[in-house]
Structures are given as structure tokens and as C-alpha cells.
Structure 1
Amino acid sequence: FGYWLGKWGGWSLLVKIGRLFRISEAQLQEVKTEFKNNAARAVFLGRFIALLRIFAGPLAGIAEMPYGKFLLCNSAGALIWAGIMVSLAFFLGQLVPLEQIAAWVAQFSVLALFLIAGAITLPRWLETRKRSFNPGE
């Protein structure tokens, strides 16, 4: 879906999004050219890099990478990525009991929840406090 989105209208959408982030069309054209020159490598390695994984398909479509080549690179990257992840999960499962992994995930989740809550509430609290010390603002 991402490939076809990029191929049939992705460039105009990318230019509009680029304007929101103050990225000129010339800069986007440079990125498109660079991606085109390294498309196979970018799509294959995109499986291993979270943000690139999301954008590799649409960028391949925008760069007019042939669909067969995109499918081959994307599938090969996905198969190798999945094999590595399954192997890591298997070996980690052999080394560490599932209960221990679940405990670590629970601890991390609690920590992440507090960090997210703090990131949301702290700026608001600081702004409120700043206004109370500077009532004219």
C-alpha cells in the first residue's frame, strides 16, 4: 500500500508535508534523488530501522523504483529481519525464564508510564507556575 501511495500522489503530499516542516521542494528533490540512487539498499535496510521501515515503501514509489525490485528488496529484508528477531527471541527465552522477562517488561512499563505522565504534566505545571509569578503575561 505504501509503495502505491508514493507512486500515485505521494510527491505532492510529501511537498505539502515538507512545507509544514519548512523543507523546500528543492531539498525534497535532493532526498528523492539520493533515495533513487540507493533505493534497493534503503528498502532492504529499512526493515531494520524503525522510521525508515515506515517510509521506505512510499519513498520507493515516489522515487519510481520498479515494483518488482521493491518487492524483492522489501521481502528479502523482511525475511531476514523476521529470522533474526525469532532467533533472538528463542535464544533469549533459553537464557532467561519467561517470568523474569515479564517482570522486566512490567517494571519498564511502569517507568515508561511515569516518564510519559511527567513529560505531559511537567511543562503544563511549569507554565502555570510561571504565570502565577508573572501575572501580567
Structure 2
Amino acid sequence: MEKNVTDFSSLCNKLVGLDPRIRFVGVTDKHGMILTTAERTGIVPLLNDEETEQYAITASTRQYTRLRWQDLLGKLNYTCSLYEKILRITIPITNQKNRLEYLLIFTLDPNTDDFDYLIMEKVIPVVTNFFSRILTKSY
């Protein structure tokens, strides 16, 4: 797992560098425990570390509820919440049995109009490529 944390840190840094509107990126385990994070240089965080940890645990719990509907609704790509000050996205990372393994949490500036394009065309390809290697190592 220690090697994975180093890899996760590299992933977070790579994602923060993809687009200047990405503020924060974090990877959690399936229980919502934060493994690593990265932030855009010069950013003033809206949440402190404890609040971020609480959010991550809550987000992980919500993913379990959402994943149970995939058989009927199709694969869950991401969820998004638009707050006045932030656009918060979660991407569930599931294993071959559709069980939650990790959760990618990231935030964007709230005025990011093309967020779906940014997520689906820039972020998810990087995330999919990265976690396909990580999950293959786990089995």
C-alpha cells in the first residue's frame, strides 16, 4: 500500500496540473480515509483538514448507496455538487465486482461551465488508466 500512496500522490499532482480551474484533488480508500491530496498552488482552502476528512467519509458512504443502482441505471461516472463557492466532484473507483475500492474527490472553480467535458475528456481517461494498473496489481 505504501507504494500505492506514492503513486496516488503523483496522480493527484498530475490531475491538479491538467487544468487551472482544478483546485483540489484527493484519493480516499473505500472507507473514505484520505490517502493523499494535492492543491492548486496559491489556493486558500475552503475546508480545514478535519472538515475535508469528514467530507471524504460522507462522500464514500454516499457512493455505496449510488453504486447499488448501477445494474438498473448504468455505470456511475461521477457525481457533482455545485455550491456557491465550489464545484465538488466524486469519481468512484470500483473493482471488477463493482465494489468500491477508492474514491477520487476533487473541486473546481464554481464558474466552470464545461465541467462535464473537463471530467469526461480530461480527468476520467487519466484516472481510468491509472486505476486499471493499480487494481490489476491488487488481484
TM range (shorter): under 0.3
Q: Normalization by structure 2: what TM-score? A: 0.26
Instruction: Give TM-score, length-normalised by structure 1.
Output: 0.27
* Higher share of residues assigned helix: 1
Structure number with bigger Rg? 1
